[in-house]
Amino acid sequence: MNVTIDLKKAETYFSEEDFKGNREKAGEALCRLLTMEDHDQVLGWTSPCASREELEIIKEKAEEIKKEGDLFVLVGVGGSNQAARAMIDALADGQGPEVLYMGNTLSAHSVSKMLKRMEGRNVYINVIAKNFETLEPGSHFRILRQWMKKRYGREEMAKRIIVTGTKGSRLEEIAKENGYLFLSFPSSVGGRYSAFSPVCLLPIGAAGLNLDKYLAGMERAAEDCRVNPSSNPAALYGAARNLLYGKGYDIEMLVSFEPRYSCLAKWWVQLFGESEGKEKKGIFPSSAIYSEDLHSIGQYMQEGRRNLIETFVSVEDPGARAVIEPDPEFRDGFDYLDGMDFDQINKAAEEATLNAHWKGGVPCIRFLTKTMSEETFGELFYYFMTACAVSGTMMNINPFDQEGVEEYKRSMFAALGKKV
Ligand code: PA5
């Protein structure tokens, strides 16, 4: 496996016996989830959720975009862009077009800036919306259609627009009426659980990432969860955070010393925030990227209120070297670093932080990732989504709905004059 979990610096905050009991409960919750009656309603993500045929179509289109396009516009918000963004931000290395994220803001300044960035570029667009009523992607799609029509004309624009939506939706009709490629957003998969569906597969393929390796990572983690229900990283993580929550630890920071994991952290915040924050319950999720954020939030982590859990995502091999050569001429006071690789320094900072926070009263959980790769993301996404579903179940809330976000929408739509 590329991903393992280390709970040594969390275990000192609870008894072995309590943890054993909670591990069993987490394993039972996981088994219940995998076999529950309405599995097909919300758990489509626990197995690959693009058919073989659809996967071939996605690969073919991704190749075309890579070959022909130099700007790929991903239109989506929340679960409709976060997983792809996390992977592209971490792994894309110029093998595909530049990716521009739209459909995720209502700022006039941002929208006009994005449209300017499209000028003179060879553009492909993927519009992703499960429920084609969301304001940001819907409004951006209209602007983009008009832009594409002016730039390419109806026929040429049709091959450059790909639409990912629910079968039977208005979005599918629009795709059919206009000859756009339509990919399915499975109804049994919620936005924030859509990492293994066409929602994520087309964008990461277009950005040059390897879909087979990614899905192989997912399958490995899924198998681990099936075969070892109470000892896989998802169950262990779910059990530990649930136990800590019961002891008053109600804020969790996902942190990493690898900035390339910053969009993964954003994805994780959405997953846990939207899934658990209900019925006045749930651990509040936040994130930080070290070492930079040690110079801000680090103070609070060390000495602030002791209700914090810190979950590290560590990288064994960052895949690059950057050595500090001696520079005796300047006597800058940094000679102790002579000959060191930045990775060695980064790891020393990580170990020191982990120890200091742990000793300072913060239970620290650690996910260790061997390399940053497609396989690793396949495993990480699967374990985190499973842990989230398990944690929600253990808290007795429904981790798959998000009724709360409708509240602000009602008054916003009323203010904008939307007829319901
Ligand atoms: O996880 C979720 O369900 C949400 O975050 C959605 O992904 C988000 O609200 C976007 O929804 P839609 O794809 O319907 O526009």
What is the 12 CA–ligand 1 centroid distance (Å)? 38
Quote the CA–CA distance of 334 and 151 in Å, as a whole number: 55
Task: Transcribe 260-318 into DSSP letters.
Answer: GGHHHHHHHHHHHHHHH--TT-SPEEEEEETTGGGGTTHHHHHHS-S-EEEEEEEEEE-
What is the 80 CA–ligand 1 centroid distance (Å)? 6
Beta bridge partners of 183: 164
Tell me the best of 74, 80, 194 to mutate to test the pocket of ligand 1, counting ligand atoms within 8 Å of each CB and taking the most. Answer: 80
What is the 373 CA–ligand 1 centroid distance (Å)? 26
Quote the CA–CA distance of 89 and 143 in Å, as a whole number: 25
Tell me the best of 102, 128, 134 to mutate to test the pocket of ligand 1, counting ligand atoms within 8 Å of each CB and taking the most. Answer: 134
Quote the CA–CA distance of 1 and 220 in Å, as a whole number: 8
Confidence of residue 361 (pLDDT cuts 50, 70, 90): very high
Catalytic residue check, 409: yes
**Cα 315-316-321 angle, rounded to 5 deg:** 95
Q: Kindly give the number of the ligand 1 atom that is closest to the alpha carbon of 129.
A: 13
pLDDT tens by residue, 363-387: 999 999 999 999 999 999 999 999 9
| Nearest CA owner, ligand 1 atom 15 | 129
| C-alpha distances in Å from residue 235, one per residue of 4, 30, 139, 226 | 12, 7, 40, 11
The predicted structure's pLDDT at residue 39: 66
* Cβ atoms of 181 and 57 closer than 8 Å: yes
What is the 390 CA–ligand 1 centroid distance (Å)? 21
What is the tally of helices (H) and strands (E) in the chain?
16, 10
Catalytic residue check, 274: yes
Task: Transcribe 378-399 into DSSP letters.
Answer: HHHHHHHHHHHHHHHHHTTS-T
Q: Kindly give the number of the ligand 1 atom that is closest to the alpha carbon of 192.
A: 1
* Cβ atoms of 384 and 399 closer than 8 Å: no
Rounded mean pLDDT, 123-137: 96
| C-alpha distances in Å from residue 34, one per residue of 61, 252, 307 | 33, 26, 32
User: Where would I find the beta strands (DSSP E) of 64-189?
Assistant: 71-75, 98-102, 123-129, 161-165, 181-184
**Count of beta carbons in the 10 Å neighbourhood of residue 328:** 8
**Count of beta carbons in the 10 Å neighbourhood of residue 7:** 19
The predicted structure's pLDDT at residue 37: 66
* Cβ atoms of 262 and 289 closer than 8 Å: yes
The residues lining ligand 1, judged by C-beta closer than 6 Å to any ligand atom, are 77-80, 129-131, 134, 137, 190-192, 274, 402
Ramachandran quadrant class, 364 (left: phi over 0; alpha: psi -120 to 50; beta: rest): beta
**Closest listed residue to residue 164, CA positions, set 193, 142, 185:** 185
What share of the chain has pLDDT > 90, as a percent? 92
**Catalytic member of 295, 329, 407, 419:** 295
* Cβ atoms of 208 and 93 closer than 8 Å: yes
Return mean pLDDT, the chain.
Answer: 96
**Catalytic member of 149, 359, 409, 418:** 409
What is the 413 CA–ligand 1 centroid distance (Å)? 17
Rounded mean pLDDT, 328-355: 97
| Nearest CA owner, ligand 1 atom 13 | 129
| Nearest CA owner, ligand 1 atom 3 | 191
* Cβ atoms of 275 and 331 closer than 8 Å: no
**Closest listed residue to residue 3, CA positions, set 313, 238, 267:** 313
| Nearest CA owner, ligand 1 atom 2 | 191
**Catalytic member of 136, 252, 274, 350:** 274
What is the 249 CA–ligand 1 centroid distance (Å)? 28
Q: Kindly give the number of the ligand 1 atom that is closest to the alpha carbon of 128.
A: 13
pTM over 0.95: yes
340: exposed, middle or buried (Cβ count in 10 Å: 0-12, 13-18, 19+): middle
**Count of beta carbons in the 10 Å neighbourhood of residue 260:** 16
| Residues 6+ away with beta carbon under 8 Å from 162 | 61, 124, 125, 126, 127, 180, 181, 182, 183, 202
Rounded mean pLDDT, 243-253: 97
| Nearest CA owner, ligand 1 atom 9 | 78
**Cα 185-189-193 angle, rounded to 5 deg:** 110
Encode burial over 243-257: b for 16+ CB neighbours within 10 A, e otherwise. Answer: bbbeeebbebbbbbb
What is the 405 CA–ligand 1 centroid distance (Å)? 10
Quote the CA–CA distance of 234 and 30 in Å, as a whole number: 9
- The dihedral through the CA atoms of 88, 403, 281, 303 has a sign that is positive
Tell me the best of 82, 101, 131 to mutate to test the pocket of ligand 1, counting ligand atoms within 8 Å of each CB and taking the most. Answer: 131
Beta bridge partners of 126: 74, 162
Confidence of residue 312 (pLDDT cuts 50, 70, 90): very high
The predicted structure's pLDDT at residue 49: 84
- Please tell me the number of Cα atoms within 13 Å of 102 on its side-chain side: 30
The predicted structure's pLDDT at residue 420: 74
Q: Kindly give the number of the ligand 1 atom that is closest to the alpha carbon of 103.
A: 15
What is the 415 CA–ligand 1 centroid distance (Å)? 21
Q: Is the pLDDT of residue 38 over 70?
A: no
Confidence of residue 234 (pLDDT cuts 50, 70, 90): very high
Quote the CA–CA distance of 249 and 4 in Å, as a whole number: 23
| Nearest CA owner, ligand 1 atom 8 | 78
Question: Which is it for strands 3-6 and 364-371: parallel, antiparallel or unpaired?
Answer: antiparallel
Confidence of residue 34 (pLDDT cuts 50, 70, 90): confident
